[in-house]
Amino acid sequence: MLPIDYYAYQNRWRHLDGRLKFLLFLLFLIISFSGIWSLQVALFITVFWLTFYLARIPFAIYVRLYFYPTIFILLSLATLLLSVSITPLSYWVGWSFGSLHIGILPSAPQQVIRLGLRIYACLAATYFFVLTTPFGQILKGLHRSPIPRELLDLILLMYRFLFLLMGDFISAQESLVLKFAFSKKGKRIKGLAYLANSVFLRLVDHQKQLEEILELRFDAMDKEGTDVGDSRY
């Protein structure tokens, strides 16, 4: 079981109806897109600590979940903050490099702050739903929806395949670390090559097993459809 699945299945609200948590998630998203910055800040702070309490997740790991998206968020906001033009504009702060003008427009900081608040409010709402709702509850909710059964099977297959990929990668990496494969540069390169080869071979084996399961699954569905069609005549 991956860490994020472990916390989802061990959280304090694991027995609560998944539909209620989904409605809360939708409510949080509506507030996140409301454009009212005071509500967005209050939502982020409240949901951040509520998720930390419910998920029973170590604080260092929880902060790390926000750290990785923050790198891409800051890069994206930086590109929105800076404007590049070949004609001089009324920049709030600007620099000129020959005929190229780079600067910050007076309205850019406010737009970036609003967008940043919206992003982090949505991120907190998403982590709330992911860390408090086991995948089994999500799947049950999807089964109640009008989504085709075949599409649900594909969703389950993709989730299972990702689970196998991450599980094989983590187990192989831990084995190499125990063997001191990453202690030196030469051993690190060799260890990474061995890791990639090992994970690839395991994925091929798992893919064959999943293909067999799918063939049995759809063969059974075809047989069921044939029986129903024959019974009409």
**Do residues 127 and 169 share a domain?**
no
Residue found under tokens 């192989």: 172
- pTM value is 0.65
Q: What's the pLDDT score for residue 229? A: 43
Q: What's the pLDDT score for residue 26? A: 92
The answer as to whether 181 is a domain residue is: yes
Q: What's the pLDDT score for residue 181? A: 52
- Residue 180 CA, chain-centre distance (Å), reads 31
**Do residues 152 and 122 share a domain?**
no
**Do residues 61 and 108 share a domain?**
yes
**Do residues 150 and 122 share a domain?**
no
Q: What's the pLDDT score for residue 232? A: 37
Taking residues 103-109, what's their average pLDDT? Answer: 74
The answer as to whether 97 is a domain residue is: yes
Better-predicted residue by pLDDT, 198 or 74: 74
Q: What's the pLDDT score for residue 230? A: 42
Taking residues 200-223, what's their average pLDDT? Answer: 59
What order do you get walking across the sheet with 83-85 strand by strand? 83-85, 100-104, 93-97
Dihedral angle at the C-alpha atoms of 171, 175, 180, 184, nearest 10 degrees?
-50
**Do residues 127 and 157 share a domain?**
no
The answer as to whether 94 is a domain residue is: yes
**Do residues 23 and 72 share a domain?**
yes
**Do residues 9 and 99 share a domain?**
yes
Angle 41-43-46 (CA atoms, 0-180°, nearest 5)?
105
136, 165, 194 - which closes a domain: 136
**Do residues 24 and 85 share a domain?**
yes
- Of 126-130, 213-217, 221-225, the range with the highest mean pLDDT is 126-130
Q: What's the pLDDT score for residue 228? A: 37
94, 115, 136 - which closes a domain: 136
Better-predicted residue by pLDDT, 171 or 64: 64
Better-predicted residue by pLDDT, 142 or 113: 113
**Do residues 127 and 150 share a domain?**
no
Number of compact structural domains in the chain: 2
Taking residues 21-35, what's their average pLDDT? Answer: 91
Better-predicted residue by pLDDT, 73 or 181: 73
Range of the domain at 81: 3-136
**Do residues 208 and 117 share a domain?**
no
Better-predicted residue by pLDDT, 124 or 159: 124
The answer as to whether 204 is a domain residue is: yes
**Do residues 116 and 159 share a domain?**
no
82, 115, 136 - which closes a domain: 136
Residue 25 pLDDT > 60: yes
**Do residues 169 and 200 share a domain?**
yes
pLDDT in tens, 138-186: 777 777 777 777 777 777 667 666 666 666 666 666 666 655 555 565 6
The answer as to whether 141 is a domain residue is: no
**64-68, 84-88, 181-185: range with lowest mean pLDDT:** 181-185
